[in-house]
Amino acid sequence: MSNIILGYHNEKMNVERFECYVGGLPVVRTLPYEYKAPFSPIDVIAEYTRPARIMENGKLIVKPALSEAELLEFEGIGTLEAFNTDGLRTLLKTMPVPNMKEKTMRYPGHARFMNALRGTGFFAENPVEVSGVTVRPIDVTAKLLFPKWKLAKDEEEFTVMRVLIEGKENDKDKKYSYSLFDRFERNSGTSSMARTTGYTCTAVARLVLENQFTMKGICPPEYIGAAEGCFELIMKHFEKRNIDYRVDISTA
């Protein structure tokens, strides 16, 4: 959805800065990890090991995953920690924005914990020999971590995202801030991560089925946001399902 938002605004303004902060977390914080994985745990580990590509002043910069941790405040949640991850992906090639970054959010202290595991070699993919048996450390770590990171049935969790877009619109400085805070839906037993990602997919599927989005070939999400009328229809799709993106606009 963050790609779709950027694609939409890139058609209407000269975007100079794009920042995306996003995370999915359990409501109950349980030591030592204070984390549960609402999506594939092996992909979570990849977020902690894959170098993060960002754009700074029009240049592609590579920084270590988990680096540049910062604390952010969110209404109804409190303090979260955001750190660099490799989430821009196609935006690095499709969007001519000079400053872009994506950060993943966890409860404070998570980055230091994962950095310690990574630095010790628990996420290493090169095999090591232990008592005559050759194993990959990441396979052992994953086997041990995944049961600890698994959400229990009907365990409450939430998804939070903040997207910041700054630039020139009609020759004036303008800043858009999108905020999402979605909780586990008790009546249906649907996780917030399933709602916020799944309903984005179904919204786009409807656009294709109803010939609202007709571009051919491989289309990253930002192309959908750029297509006339598609962004508004996606937002209406969310509204019907009580997924609320709050938008704050400021001008200079």
- Are 181 and 76 in contact, with CB atoms under 8 Å apart? yes
Beta carbons within 8 Å of 77's beta carbon, 6+ residues apart: 158, 160, 181
Total number of domains in the chain: 1
- pLDDT tens digit sequence for 175-230: 999 999 999 999 999 999 999 999 999 999 999 999 999 999 999 999 999 999 99
- pLDDT tens digit sequence for 7-64: 999 999 999 999 999 999 999 999 999 999 987 888 999 999 999 999 999 999 999 9
**Would you say residue 3 has pLDDT above 80?**
yes
Q: What is the pTM of this model?
A: 0.95
Residue range of the domain that includes 41: 2-251
CA 124/CA 135 separation, integer angstroms = 10
Q: What is the CATH number of the domain that holds 143?
A: 3.30.360.10
**3-class SS of residue 71:** strand
